[in-house]
């Protein structure tokens, strides 16, 4: 996105969890394996797909959580929420990957993470840590929750976005040294699946021009090979540029040059191309005023980056896309883009990869999935993404997931979030109380009154008279030991008492 337009609003708020998302069914192809679910281990590419260590195709369906690249030097929202509850909510809302932007400032001695609330026990284990050690904590907990992480070198320093991968104060050598440091830091921790080398190269950055000072494709090869020299198992995410052969588009969104000048790395099967695409809340583009809009958009995306996927050249990850969703044009754009990305229920993991911008509400030209209270999910915006969400991945360490032969057990807690007499909304939190990960869960209850469910998110249900049976959605059935998942629903009428819940785990 045009960083000159992105503003941090940074408003603190109460930490109430209201995870909401749509349901979908994931389909995967590939050879049968013993893995409980796709996603285990390090990943590699084959044609247009990303495969896990067992050769099963996976789909990145994630969210950007920014802040490490700003002068806070840490993800935003920790002034309001505990980081673990935030990551739990990301997972419960149906996102399976977190893109973490950072700047090279976090490597500087004396850099301090600020605007973190430690009151009431929040973020207690982050106290006294520098930004890199805080990042360690986030990565570890995300892996425990079955999420993957992509590290995004967003800016050379926290002052703002740069056109090239280096500046006068942050030379290319520093960029590469810091990339190698991250590759080494997380070596053996396959929660971190790869690194986005630099965010949104733009004019005068070129692709294939041969100038060492401005040819982004050559720079990506130098940096990618340096990273792979430290950890050859990582994916290397390479964004586009702004202009190629006189044709301009979004910053980082123009991958037209790949056809003639592909990125060639020392390790095969590691390149994932990344495009960014935005709506009018960020900036106007000529295609928005085309008389055929939005029918013209698939052709636009094909030209800039979609052809790479369609011609089976490499996987394509839309690393950023977002909008305030306030205008009709933007609503049509997002609907068309989601359809173009290929619904999971139809195509499974043979689809475009993506991470939405952003989880944060304090992106001034897009807003976020969270509303300004840093707790409530914007269900309208999130609902647009329901068809392209995909399951989370096996837990990695930290007391979550894989595990051992203990008994599966769970509990469920019911909370009414709003009641207006004729109707109500409620949330249910399912907690793994056993010693092994849940593969799936079922929650049942019977109301004492005449309540009926009118809608449900993050789960499916049946109701017979007063008895309700709820089964997890595809993305939140797997719960690590000690972890939790959530679902919510609307019902009618209001005024009822909370029922007694029974949770059954497998």
Active site residues: 200, 320
Tokens of 17: 């969890």
Burial of 493 (0-12, 13-18, 19+ CB in 10 A): middle
Are the CB atoms for 326 and 276 separated by under 8 Å?
no
Are the CB atoms for 430 and 484 separated by under 8 Å?
yes
d(CA 291, CA 293): 6
d(CA 331, CA 273): 26
> What is the three-class DSSP state of 454?
strand
Are the CB atoms for 364 and 10 separated by under 8 Å?
no
Question: 47 CB contacts (<8 Å, ≥6 apart)?
Answer: 312, 313, 314
d(CA 188, CA 140): 12
Q: Output b/e per residue, 95-117; b: 16+ Cβ within 10 A.
A: bbbbbbbbbbbbbeeebebebbe
Question: 40 CB contacts (<8 Å, ≥6 apart)?
Answer: 52, 53, 54, 190, 393, 394
Tokens of 426: 């409620």
Element (DSSP H or E) covering residue 181: helix 172-185
> What is the three-class DSSP state of 456?
strand
Secondary structure letter of residue 119 according to DSSP: G
């Amino acid at each position: 996105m045009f960083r000159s337009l992105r503003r941090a609003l940074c408003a603190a708020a109460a930490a109430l969890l209201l995870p909401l998302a749509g349901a979908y069914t994931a389909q995967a192809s590939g050879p049968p394996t013993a893995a409980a679910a796709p996603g285990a281990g390090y990943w590699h590419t084959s044609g247009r797909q990303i495969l896990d260590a067992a050769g099963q195709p996976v789909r990145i369906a994630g969210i950007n959580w920014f802040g490490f690249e700003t002068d806070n030097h840490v993800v935003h929202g920790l002034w309001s929420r505990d980081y673990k509850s935030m990551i739990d909510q990301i997972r419960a809302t149906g996102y399976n990957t977190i893109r973490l932007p950072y700047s090279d400032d976090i490597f500087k001695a004396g850099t301090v993470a600020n605007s973190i609330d430690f009151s009431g026990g929040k973020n207690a284990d982050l106290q006294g840590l520098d930004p890199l050690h805080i990042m360690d904590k986030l990565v570890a907990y995300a892996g425990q929750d079955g999420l993957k992480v992509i590290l995004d070198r967003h800016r050379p320093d926290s002052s703002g976005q740069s056109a090239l991968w280096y500046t006068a104060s942050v030379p290319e050598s520093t960029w590469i040294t810091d990339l190698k440091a991250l590759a080494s830091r997380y070596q053996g921790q396959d929660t971190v699946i790869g690194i986005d080398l630099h965010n949104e190269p733009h004019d005068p950055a070129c692709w294939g021009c041969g100038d060492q000072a401005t040819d982004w494709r050559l720079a990506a090869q130098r940096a990618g090979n340096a990273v792979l020299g430290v950890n050859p198992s990582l994916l290397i995410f390479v964004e586009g540029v702004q202009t190629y052969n006189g044709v301009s588009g979004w910053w980082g969104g123009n991958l037209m040059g790949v056809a003639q000048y592909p990125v060639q790395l020392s390790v095969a099967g590691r390149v994932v191309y990344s495009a960014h695409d935005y709506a009018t809340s960020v900036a106007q583009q000529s295609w928005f005023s085309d008389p055929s809009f939005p029918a013209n958009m698939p052709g636009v995306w094909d030209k800039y980056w979609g052809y790479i996927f369609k011609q089976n050249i490499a996987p394509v990850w839309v690393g950023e896309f977002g909008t305030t969703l306030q205008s009709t044009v933007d609503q049509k754009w997002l609907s068309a883009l989601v359809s173009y990305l290929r619904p999971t229920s139809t195509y499974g993991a043979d689809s475009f990869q993506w991470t939405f911008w952003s989880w944060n509400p304090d992106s001034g030209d897009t807003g976020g999935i969270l509303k300004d209270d840093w707790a409530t999910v914007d269900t309208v915006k999130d609902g647009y993404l329901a068809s392209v969400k995909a399951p989370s991945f096996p837990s990695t360490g930290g007391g979550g997931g894989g595990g051992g032969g203990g008994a599966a057990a769970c509990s469920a807690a019911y909370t009414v979030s709003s009641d207006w007499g004729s109707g109500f909304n409620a949330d249910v939190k399912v907690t793994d109380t056993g010693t092994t990960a849940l593969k799936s869960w079922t929650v049942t209850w019977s109301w004492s009154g005449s309540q009926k469910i009118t809608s449900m998110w993050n789960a499916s249900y049946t109701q017979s008279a007063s008895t309700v049976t709820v089964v997890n959605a595809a993305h939140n059935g797997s719960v690590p030991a000690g972890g939790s998942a959530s679902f919510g629903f609307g019902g009618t009428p209001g005024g009822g008492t909370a029922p007694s819940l029974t949770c059954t785990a497998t």
